[in-house]
Amino acid sequence: MRPAALALVVAVGIVAAQTVDRTKPPQTAPLPAFKLPPVYETKLANGLAVELVEDARFPLVTVRLAFLEAGSKVDPPDLAGLADAAGTLLKEGTKTRPSKQIAEELAQIGGSLRGDATRDSIAIGASALSEHAGNLLELVADVGRNAIFPADEVKLYRQNQKQRLAARRAQAEFQADERFNALLFGSHPYARVSPTPESIDKLSGEALAKFRDTYLVPNNAVLIVLGKLPARAGLLRQIEQRFGSWERRPLPARPAAKPPESKTRIALVDRPGSVQADIRVGKVALTRSDPDHFPMVVGNAMLGSGTSSRLFMNIREKKGYAYQANSLLMRYRESGYFSVITQVRNEVLGEAMDAVLAELDHMAQVPAPASELSNIKNFLSGTFVMSLESQSGLADQLVLVKTMGLTNNYLETYTTRVRSTEPDQVQKAAQRYIAPADATIVVVGDASKIGEALKKLGEVEVSKAQ
């Protein structure tokens, strides 16, 4: 037998002789901490913050122009939906380019561009091949600075929004989200989750132009350019040429609107004929800057993220009350909320509510087992690193850092902070934000079928579905 063949036989024999414990999953190799590509930061004289991020893995360039204080929270009370409309309509025409020309120029460079609004901010997102970086910056600058909101586009947007709102209001889950946010946040702007028919009717080009001139200004913005970039000196000249003459404006002082404290409330939205009940249980929670943020991220994932979470395994797999059961942790600039979301059959509402509340109480009372905590940490770390693999994903996270007022090392320390979370920290966070005491409960369903079961939990506020 040849020496190589003999060595192979010996190696196979050794492996076969080893005992493999197939009752345990293989150990997950340690994930390396995320390392942010080189970042160059500067600021133009008009106050526009600029970040250049080198990422030469792909011949692409990705741009974000984010306005930090411009989301739906700054909508006038009678113009809910104004920020969303502004974000959507930015690319529908400028002082020098109609929407068709913008689309054609994007097509010529293989690019894309869109605007989006959140509760706190508006961001223009765009991308193209690196060789067209200058053309892409030109389009982003024109859309960000010179959008004119043509009357025909505004009219079409109003029509579409009314149809979309009517369709959403026909859904029990929307009714639940709307009522839940209203009860949690009260008079705070975060309470609004959608426009109203009246605010849609009031939407006009004049209102949008006023919003543009008030909030879409350089001293309220950050420009992030990410990818395989041209030489820095030349790129900075291009940015100065396109954005340097943009006039800064004083930003309006926003009145302090502190989110309310959580308090026990049970609300039933009567929707006659519903064969199931849509449930929301939760509290006002925290921001990403809070010391309990990472323990809460871990606890929320353990409780209700995915098919191996506690809620899913109990409410669906063990008891069969629902097709889906999960939890949600929303974080804004000034506040946030935690909630459990599920839909159950009318006849098991009482038992399902007891099971949900018991899971929430268990999170606050009993420290997490080490094996469960380890699995969740691996899951969160892995999905976070994967989310940063694309230029778009990394650009969105860089925008998040700026719009949420986070430290520059937030992304690089994320996995370390997740992995360093201990059981007692998760339990402490759960006692503050997950435990059912002071929780708000909203149920949308047929009051004649589920009202009595809900009353066993306490006093119920009943309203009609809209």
Q: Are 255 and 420 in contact (CB under 8 A)?
A: no
Contact 49, 220 (CB under 8 A): no
CA distance 49 to 368: 43
Alpha helices in 18-150 (DSSP H): 82-89, 99-108, 133-146
Structure tokens at 282: 């939760």
Contact between residue 457 and residue 266 where contact means Cβ atoms under 8 Å apart: yes
The top-level CATH class assigned to 265-464 is alpha beta
- Per CATH, the number for 39-243 is 3.30.830.10
- 8 CB-near residues (< 8 Å, 6+ apart): none
CATH 3.30.830.10 domain locations along the chain: 39-243, 265-464
pTM: 0.90
Give dist(CA 347, CA 162) in Å, integer: 35
What is the amino acid identity at position 315?
A: I
Contact call for residues 108 and 102 (beta carbons, < 8 A): no
Strands 336-345 and 112-117: unpaired
Strand partners, 276: 345
**pLDDT tens digits, the chain, 466 residues: what are they?**
555 454 444 444 444 445 666 776 666 566 667 788 889 999 999 999 999 999 988 899 999 999 999 999 999 999 999 999 999 999 999 999 999 999 999 999 999 999 999 999 999 999 999 999 999 999 999 999 999 999 999 999 999 999 999 999 999 999 999 999 999 999 999 999 999 999 999 999 999 999 999 999 999 999 999 999 999 999 999 999 999 999 999 999 876 777 888 888 999 999 999 999 999 999 999 999 999 999 999 999 999 998 999 999 999 999 999 999 999 999 999 999 999 999 999 999 999 999 999 999 999 999 999 999 999 999 999 999 999 999 999 999 999 999 999 999 999 999 999 999 999 999 999 999 999 999 999 999 999 999 999 999 999 999 998 8
Residue 313 is classified by DSSP as I
> 111: closest CA among 90, 134, 89?
134
Where does residue 135 rank: exposed (0-12), middle (13-18), buried (19+ CB within 10 A)? middle
